[in-house]
């Protein structure tokens, strides 16, 4: 009996080894991430616990979008900044990548950007090229579709003085510092969009915006050195004080992360639903600060109802030491001149520029476009959104708005001009902003309010988080109504949009 048991056990062992080592024809062998299961003879012996399996080399899950972590230390008085930055970049381009292109806008100013170290997936990189605002990083191995790469960049910023030029010729200088504030806009390296195999990084121009942004998630861990009178900070993110005295700011699905700091800022806040709006302004400008806050809160309510939901939990409205307004994610600037001219009524520049910049939280932040080649896509909609604000909030001022804001300039020209062909700031804005507003008004009159707002809401829902084109715009517009608008397109646009 004992010999028979030994014989049976030996046969079972041989069968087990053969079944585990052989593979039926046409069946793939299991990889290190698969399990080979063998059916053993049934016994009455209780199952014994097995050892904890060793972890396999499973790739990190691909993020929905890039994530930027910036550990940032600011010396406010020296106007210098040290940054330890990590970018987790998922390859969602649809193509394998052999290199990355990163925008480094501060490098446009001599001595403003110093690159201290660069590494990709933990390996130091020295064969990069940095030319003006463009950083090219060759990859050691091909980055497959839906794979992710980690980029670590350590750098320092020496902020330039934000000298203001003639506003009729060029856009205001924002990045840098003035006598009473520090402005960080487009201040960190970011991976530019890759569309149809092309990295999108345009040259800067005298007016208009040249950058194009993918959506990304941001975490900025901010501290000030040396310790002392810490400035008040306005930012794109929601602040969370940390135990070490620093502050963490976070925002998800955002185009940018902007930050302003000043020891002179005064603040006032209000809340719309779960969104906290905060106005940052300088002494003796409280009336303007309150006016900008009120207009932005009203606009947020109107646009949320007419277009779709606002995506973030905060919105910063910041008085700027320069000549115009400018939008960023959950954050925008308004010129000091608008505050100085504020008369306490909604019939003024401060109000309509505040609601214009608020509208960019839909037309730029949520639905993005190529701001250099097709700037009208966000500027036309943001300008027309002013009209939507006034008709819903101060309908008696609607005719004033058309006359004072639009008709006064006798705008002309084709709406769809690139910034490089604008022939001056006023000529450019007359076409891309004001002629665009005329076009949308005529479209609305022809197809009716129901179809018009259905188009706007569909454009937002289908374009949210994406970079859209003029063709996307017109395809959706035509789908929203059977009414022919081809004559209006031919009147206001130089390109043919079929």
> Is the sign of the CA dihedral 139, 142, 145, 148 positive or negative?
negative
C-alpha dist (Å) from residue 476 to 56, 364, 383, 433, 461: 47, 18, 20, 21, 11
Query: And the tokens for 288?
Result: 């303007």
Q: Roughly how many angstroms between the first and final C-alpha of the chain, as a whole number?
A: 89
Tell me the C-alpha distance between 487 and 483, whole Å. 11
Residue by residue, DSSP assigns 166-180 as -TTTSPPP-SEE-SS
**Predicted local confidence at residue 171, as pLDDT:** 66
Q: How would you label 299-328 residue by residue, b for 16+ Cβ within 10 Å and e otherwise?
A: bbbbbbebbbebbbebbbbbbbbbbbbbbb
**Predicted local confidence at residue 72, as pLDDT:** 98
C-alpha dist (Å) from residue 488 to 83, 262, 370, 444, 458: 50, 47, 23, 11, 21
Name the helix (H) or strand (E) containing 479. Answer: helix 470-480
Supply the pTM of this predicted model: 0.87
Cβ atoms of 274 and 246 closer than 8 Å: no
Cβ atoms of 472 and 463 closer than 8 Å: yes
CB within 8 Å of 233: residues ≥ 6 apart: 222, 239, 247, 259, 260, 261
Cβ atoms of 234 and 316 closer than 8 Å: yes
Cβ atoms of 288 and 350 closer than 8 Å: yes
Question: How many Cα neighbours within 13 Å face the side chain of 106?
Answer: 26
Longest CA pairwise span in the chain (Å): 110
Dihedral angle computed from the Cα positions of residues 250, 162, 417 and 413, in that order, rounded to the nearest 10 degrees: 130
**Predicted local confidence at residue 291, as pLDDT:** 98
Long-range pairs for 378-382 at CB < 8 Å and ≥24 separation? 379/429, 379/432, 379/433, 379/436, 380/415, 380/432, 380/433, 380/436, 380/437, 380/439, 380/440, 381/436, 381/440, 382/327, 382/356, 382/357
For every one of its 498 residues, what pLDDT tens digit does the chain have, with 9 covering 90 and above?
A: 444 434 433 433 333 333 333 333 333 333 333 333 223 333 333 333 334 344 433 455 679 999 999 999 999 999 999 999 999 999 999 999 999 999 999 999 999 999 999 999 999 999 999 999 999 999 999 999 999 999 999 999 999 998 777 666 666 789 999 999 999 999 999 999 999 999 999 999 989 999 999 999 999 999 999 877 789 999 999 999 999 999 999 999 999 999 999 999 999 999 999 999 999 999 999 999 999 999 999 999 999 999 999 999 999 999 999 888 999 999 999 999 999 999 999 999 999 999 999 999 999 999 999 999 999 999 999 999 999 999 999 999 999 999 999 999 999 999 999 999 998 999 999 999 999 999 999 999 999 999 999 999 999 999 999 999 999 999 999 999 999 999 999 999 999 886
Which domains are delineated in the chain?
368-492 (1.10.390.10)
The dihedrals phi and psi of 425, each to the nearest 5 degrees, come to -60, -50
**Predicted local confidence at residue 124, as pLDDT:** 98
C-alpha dist (Å) from residue 347 to 50, 394, 432, 436: 76, 9, 23, 22
Strands 275-281, 266-272: pairing kind: antiparallel
Residue by residue, DSSP assigns 232-251 as EEEESSEEEE-TTS-EEEEE
Tell me the C-alpha distance between 354 and 299, whole Å. 9
What angle separates helix 376-393 from helix 470-480, to the nearest 10 degrees?
Answer: 40
């Amino acid at each position: 009996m004992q010999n028979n048991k030994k014989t049976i056990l030996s046969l079972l062992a041989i069968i087990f080894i053969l079944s585990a080592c052989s593979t039926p024809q046409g069946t793939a062998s299991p990889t290190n991430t698969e399990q080979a299961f063998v059916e053993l003879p049934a016994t009455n012996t209780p199952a014994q616990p097995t050892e904890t399996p060793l972890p396999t080399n499973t790739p990190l899950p691909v993020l929905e979008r890039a994530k930027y972590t910036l550990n940032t230390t600011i010396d406010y008085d020296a106007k210098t900044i040290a940054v330890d930055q990590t970018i987790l970049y998922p390859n969602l381009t649809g193509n394998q990548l052999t290199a990355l292109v990163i925008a480094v806008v501060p490098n446009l100013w001599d001595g403003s950007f110093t690159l201290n170290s660069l590494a990709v997936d933990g390996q130091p990189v020295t064969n990069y090229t940095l030319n003006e605002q463009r950083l090219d990083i060759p990859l050691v191995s091909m980055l497959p579709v839906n794979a992710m790469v980690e980029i670590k960049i350590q750098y320092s910023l020496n902020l330039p003085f934000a000298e203001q030029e003639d506003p009729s010729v060029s856009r205001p200088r924002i990045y840098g510092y003035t006598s009473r504030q520090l402005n960080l806009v487009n201040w960190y390296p970011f991976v530019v969009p890759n569309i149809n195999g092309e990295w999108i990084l345009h040259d800067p121009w005298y007016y208009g915006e040249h950058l194009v942004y993918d959506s990304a998630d941001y975490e900025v861990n901010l501290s000030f050195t040396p310790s002392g009178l810490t400035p008040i900070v306005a930012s794109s993110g929601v602040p969370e004080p940390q135990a070490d005295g620093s502050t963490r700011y976070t925002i998800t699905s955002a185009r940018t992360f902007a930050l302003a700091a000043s020891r002179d800022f005064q603040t006032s806040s209000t809340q719309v639903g779960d969104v906290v709006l905060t106005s940052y302004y300088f002494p003796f400008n409280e009336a303007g600060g309150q006016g900008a806050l009120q207009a932005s809160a009203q606009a947020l309510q109107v646009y949320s109802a007419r277009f779709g939901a606002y995506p973030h939990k905060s919105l910063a409205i910041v008085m700027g030491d320069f000549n115009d307004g400018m939008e960023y994610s959950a954050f925008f600037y308004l010129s000091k001149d608008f505050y100085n001219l504020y008369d306490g009524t909604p019939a003024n520049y401060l109000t309509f520029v505040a609601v214009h910049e608020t509208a960019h939280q839909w037309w730029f932040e949520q639905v993005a476009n190529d701001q250099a080649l097709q700037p009208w896509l966000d500027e036309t909609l943001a300008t027309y959104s002013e009209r939507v604000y006034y008709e819903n909030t101060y309908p008696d001022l609607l005719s004033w708005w058309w006359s004072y804001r639009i008709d006064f300039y006798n705008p002309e020209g084709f709406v769809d001009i690139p910034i490089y062909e604008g022939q001056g700031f006023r000529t450019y804005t007359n076409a891309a902003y004001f002629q665009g507003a005329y076009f949308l008004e005529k479209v609305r009159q022809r197809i009716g309010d129901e179809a018009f707002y259905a188009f706007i809401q569909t454009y937002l829902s289908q374009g949210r988080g994406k970079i859209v084109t003029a063709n996307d715009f017109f395809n959706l517009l035509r789908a929203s109504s059977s009414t022919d608008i081809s004559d209006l397109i031919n009147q206001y646009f130089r390109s043919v949009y079929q």
